[in-house]
Structure 1
Amino acid sequence: MVVNFKVFKKCSPNGKINLYMGKRDFVDHISAVEPVEGIIVIDEEYVRERRKIFGQIVCSFRYGREEDEVMGLNFQKELFLASEQIFPSTGKSEKQLSKVQDRLLKKLGENAFPFTFNIPPSAPASITLQQAKDETGEPCGVQYYVKIFAGESETDRTHRRSTVSLGIRKVQYAPSKQGNQPCTVVRKDFMLSPGELEMEVTLDKQLYQHDEKIAINLCIRNHSNKTVKKIKAMVQQGVDVVLFQNGQYRNTISSMETEEGCPLQPGSSLQKVIYLMPSLNSVAQKRGIALDGQLKHQNTNLASTTLLASPDQRDAFGIIVSYAVKVKLFLGALGGELAAELPFVLMHPKPGVKSKLISADSQAEVETFRQETIDQEDED
């Protein structure tokens, strides 16, 4: 059976180095991350001159606006998670080739050379923070890219003419099993007043997919002498920029305020279901919303919940995202309010695995990326 498999290609501005990769999303399984595999094709002149070609996995963390970088300030840090000389081969690490690599090597000829890099499991997820409509420049967040360049050493100053950079993402998918059904009961008593107000909040499940409705089940029992005037339910996104001690904030993604069933008089009870759907469409212009790491020419969505093996596994250069449903009962100016909160998980399901047979007559569907404009003063 002949199978077409997709390949991403990018060429250096001087045309001497071509980068081929079978995919750009690499799944973090919490205990390990899928290896980053690819092929480079080197021009005959570089091969003949034995020019050294290096490859790196770079994690770029921007924690401040590019337009605020004045007087030498720089709000961006780059972490080199992997680095290796690809050509000439040093023979230090002989890794088994994947089927895509093996097939591309046969198709691309003798000047094609494979590479494999490993991303540490503790590395942060690909997340960007949404910019305001009037903001320009690179968005804040964590981005990854594969960098291939010609030089004398791994630390050599790279020239744009002989450098290829292709963006990739480190992603997580939803676990295969649902967790425990979220449920909480909160109560409020009042000074100088007998009885208490009780609210039970339950979600229909713990794990939701993006753009899926969330059913919030409310059971309110008013054993006090106060009156419930209205009810408000919200889906909130928690963003923790780990680098800063006070870098935690919340965004309201979706909300609903209702007086249906109100006023709830003393001695009464109310059962109600409220539906909310967290979606990027409702906050498309709001600054600071965490989004899944974005690749050029691709749409994105709200950032998925960040799953950690343990609370201590918080990389200092990462952004941790969480979600919670919050429900408030308003009792008027003197009665105050009663609030309950339930965390939940929002993620993409794991894509179905399709077994493909890559045979000798398989065809590669190549998607080519254009290299950014280069500075004229950069030389080989």
Structure 2
Amino acid sequence: MGGGDWHSNTRFTLSTVTDYRGQQKTDRAEGTVNWIYNFAINMSKVFKKTSGNGHIALYLGKRDFVDNVDSVEVVDGVIKVDPSGLNGRKVYVYLACAFRYGSDDLDVIGLSFRRDIWIQRIQVYPPTGANATKSPMQESLMKKVGEQGCPFSFQLPTNLPCSVALQPGPNDSGKACGVDFEVKGYIANAADNADEVIEKKDTCRLMIRKIQFAPANNKPGPKADISKQFMMTDKPVHLEASLEKEIYYHGDPITVKVKINNETSKVVKKIKVTVEQLTSVVLYSSDTYTKPVCSEEFGETINANSTFEKSFQITPLLANNKEKRGLSVDGRLKDEDTHLASTTLSQGDKEMQGIIVSYKVKVNLMVSGGGLLGGLTGSDVTVELPLTLMSPKPAANWIKGLFSSGLTSDLSPWKDEMTSKGIHRSDREHRTQRNSTPVTRGTTCHWVTTML
């Protein structure tokens, strides 16, 4: 189920036809897509967790589920049930989104340090017929599990937060605070009975992630300006700042264009550019925490009655903020690498609880006072820009995109779709390793995809 290795090079041949307008279309595309999809599932890693007594086992084909803002991927899987060990009880599966704001080790007086934001339970055994339609993923898992497999699926609402963790301090221990998602199978007499004690040996669970990727259409970046007049001067300093584009990827340098028109008698001594992360924790109340993740000073001097224009680059990285307690990072499974939390995208018409992350760029001019009053007449000029910091969308649907784009798009490595770790590699590494290469073109197109 996960032990087989990909061959270093795998070739797929797709036959195409040409219509009367000279456009290429794929012949028998539907069947080819299904074949490749089923082949990919059979070769991909399957995530499994068995209960302590061995009577139930949870199977998932993946652990990362994409939030497209207006819809979320269905969380589907299969649970294997051994009826001989149930003793008349039933088998349930629940999916929960929860906010963890304390370690389980602190639960010494019966207090819960975990609050469920959203939870849904379904009965899988005995079957109720609610999940009669199976997805291709479930069909493949059922073949692996056998007749004892019971499929289940959940539809997450769009107003749930993404998987985010608050970075612990150097001396903190235990699980990090943050938002997590859990799929749990359990044996019980009722789905949700507060008086029923469910033993740990009767449960099995897997953590999953709800993630967002940057939209494909990257618009021009924001622009902001300010004019500030100082004491003892009759003319202002005008500052304008802008970003090249609206969305930046993790690990990429952020280019900030700065224009200054200094009509005063003062001198601008330095320009400071800062990226700040804003984390809004929305539970019983809404609290926002601001932390700088990157700050650089540039020794540019803008004399009195002069103009200035230049672009500056800064790169916010988690590697430079490893000991900053309470910083929001993207949720991770086990001990794999992660990065700064991505900007939270939402429709805006629904209230969202949990952790909401945003960023802003601050451009600050340090203006000297000069004259007899010295620093008393000096001040700073500051302008702020909203920043969207996210990961690029891997080619999760690259097979279908192959046909709709006329076989001209680059293919991404299979690893991004096959394993959860591929999602959270550094984005610069992700793009440099995108090495699928078209060999020939024509009515028959051969693609050689180098597997990572």
TM-score (norm 1): 0.87
- Once residues 366 and 11 of structure 1 are traced to their aligned partners in structure 2, the CA distance between those partners, rounded to angstroms, is 20
Does residue 40 (structure 1) correspond to residue 79 (structure 2)? The answer is yes
Aligned AA (2:347)? A
Pick closer, same or farther for the CA change 1:178–1:158 going to 2, 3 Å.
Answer: same
Is the Cα–Cα contact under 8 Å of residues 233 and 255 in structure 1 kept in the other structure? yes
- Once residues 74 and 106 of structure 1 are traced to their aligned partners in structure 2, the CA distance between those partners, rounded to angstroms, is 40
Is the Cα–Cα contact under 8 Å of residues 28 and 170 in structure 1 kept in the other structure? yes
Does residue 232 (structure 1) correspond to residue 267 (structure 2)? The answer is no
Structure 1 regions of 5+ residues with no counterpart? 357-364, 368-380
Range that drifts further, 195-204 or 36-45: 36-45
Does residue 319 (structure 1) correspond to residue 363 (structure 2)? The answer is no
- Once residues 204 and 112 of structure 2 are traced to their aligned partners in structure 1, the CA distance between those partners, rounded to angstroms, is 23
Is the Cα–Cα contact under 8 Å of residues 81 and 119 in structure 1 kept in the other structure? no
Is the Cα–Cα contact under 8 Å of residues 8 and 366 in structure 1 kept in the other structure? no
RMSD of aligned Cα (Å):
2.1
**Which residue pairs with 1:250 in the alignment?**
290
For residues 111-126 of structure 1, what are the structure 2 equivalents within 5 Å? 111-126=148-163
Aligned AA (1:25)? D
Pick closer, same or farther for the CA change 1:240–1:114 going to 2, 3 Å.
Answer: same
For residue 122 of structure 2, the aligned residue among 81, 84, 88 is 84
Q: CA deviation at 1:192?
A: 3.0
Does residue 147 (structure 1) correspond to residue 184 (structure 2)? The answer is yes
**Which residue pairs with 1:74 in the alignment?**
112
Pick closer, same or farther for the CA change 1:232–1:79 going to 2, 3 Å.
Answer: closer
Aligned AA (1:238)? L
1:320-363 deviation digits (Å, cap 9, x = unpaired): 1001111101113331100011012111111112439xxxxxxx
Aligned AA (1:130)? Q
**Which residue pairs with 2:447 in the alignment?**
none
**Which residue pairs with 1:374 in the alignment?**
none
Is the Cα–Cα contact under 8 Å of residues 7 and 366 in structure 1 kept in the other structure? no
- Once residues 152 and 265 of structure 1 are traced to their aligned partners in structure 2, the CA distance between those partners, rounded to angstroms, is 79
SS of residue matched to 2:139: helix
Choose between structure 1 and 2 for higher RCO, CA contacts under 8 A separated by at least 6 residues.
Answer: 1
**Which residue pairs with 1:293 in the alignment?**
331
For residues 53-64 of structure 1, what are the structure 2 equivalents within 5 Å? 53-64=91-102
| Deviating 4+ runs (over 6 angstroms) | none
**Which residue pairs with 1:283 in the alignment?**
321
Number of corresponding residues: 353
SS of residue matched to 1:104: helix
SS of residue matched to 2:46: strand
- Once residues 419 and 242 of structure 2 are traced to their aligned partners in structure 1, the CA distance between those partners, rounded to angstroms, is 48
User: How much identity, in percent, do the aligned residues show?
Assistant: 38
Is the Cα–Cα contact under 8 Å of residues 131 and 152 in structure 2 kept in the other structure? no
1:39-62 deviation digits (Å, cap 9, x = unpaired): 111125237x55310000012212
- Once residues 104 and 272 of structure 2 are traced to their aligned partners in structure 1, the CA distance between those partners, rounded to angstroms, is 38
1:19-41 deviation digits (Å, cap 9, x = unpaired): 11011111111122111100111
Is the Cα–Cα contact under 8 Å of residues 220 and 244 in structure 2 kept in the other structure? no
Does residue 308 (structure 1) correspond to residue 346 (structure 2)? The answer is yes
Does residue 11 (structure 1) correspond to residue 54 (structure 2)? The answer is no
1:257-313 deviation digits (Å, cap 9, x = unpaired): 121x31x22111222221111111010111011011111132211110000101x52
Q: CA deviation at 1:137?
A: 1.9
**Which residue pairs with 1:337 in the alignment?**
380
SS of residue matched to 2:234: strand
- Once residues 83 and 109 of structure 2 are traced to their aligned partners in structure 1, the CA distance between those partners, rounded to angstroms, is 44
**Which residue pairs with 1:127 in the alignment?**
164
Q: CA deviation at 1:108?
A: 1.9
Pick closer, same or farther for the CA change 1:52–1:293 going to 2, 3 Å.
Answer: same
Is the Cα–Cα contact under 8 Å of residues 62 and 419 in structure 2 kept in the other structure? no
Aligned AA (2:116)? E
Does residue 349 (structure 1) correspond to residue 387 (structure 2)? The answer is no
Pick closer, same or farther for the CA change 1:181–1:138 going to 2, 3 Å.
Answer: same
Is the Cα–Cα contact under 8 Å of residues 60 and 79 in structure 1 kept in the other structure? yes
SS of residue matched to 1:169: strand
- Once residues 117 and 324 of structure 2 are traced to their aligned partners in structure 1, the CA distance between those partners, rounded to angstroms, is 29
SS of residue matched to 1:33: coil
**Which residue pairs with 1:359 in the alignment?**
none
For residue 169 of structure 1, the aligned residue among 195, 209, 215 is 209
**Which residue pairs with 1:51 in the alignment?**
89
Range that drifts further, 243-252 or 275-284: 243-252
SS of residue matched to 2:399: coil
SS of residue matched to 1:193: coil
Is the Cα–Cα contact under 8 Å of residues 189 and 195 in structure 1 kept in the other structure? yes
- Once residues 94 and 296 of structure 2 are traced to their aligned partners in structure 1, the CA distance between those partners, rounded to angstroms, is 47
For residue 94 of structure 1, the aligned residue among 131, 134, 143 is 131
**Which residue pairs with 1:188 in the alignment?**
228
- Once residues 310 and 284 of structure 2 are traced to their aligned partners in structure 1, the CA distance between those partners, rounded to angstroms, is 40
For residue 242 of structure 2, the aligned residue among 190, 199, 202 is 202
Q: CA deviation at 1:314?
A: 3.0
- Once residues 25 and 50 of structure 1 are traced to their aligned partners in structure 2, the CA distance between those partners, rounded to angstroms, is 34
Is the Cα–Cα contact under 8 Å of residues 50 and 88 in structure 1 kept in the other structure? no
**Which residue pairs with 2:254 in the alignment?**
214
For residue 174 of structure 2, the aligned residue among 114, 134, 137 is 137
Aligned AA (2:191)? E
- Once residues 366 and 329 of structure 1 are traced to their aligned partners in structure 2, the CA distance between those partners, rounded to angstroms, is 46
Structure 2 regions of 5+ residues with no counterpart? 1-35, 369-374, 401-417, 421-452
- Once residues 64 and 20 of structure 1 are traced to their aligned partners in structure 2, the CA distance between those partners, rounded to angstroms, is 29
- Once residues 263 and 118 of structure 2 are traced to their aligned partners in structure 1, the CA distance between those partners, rounded to angstroms, is 60
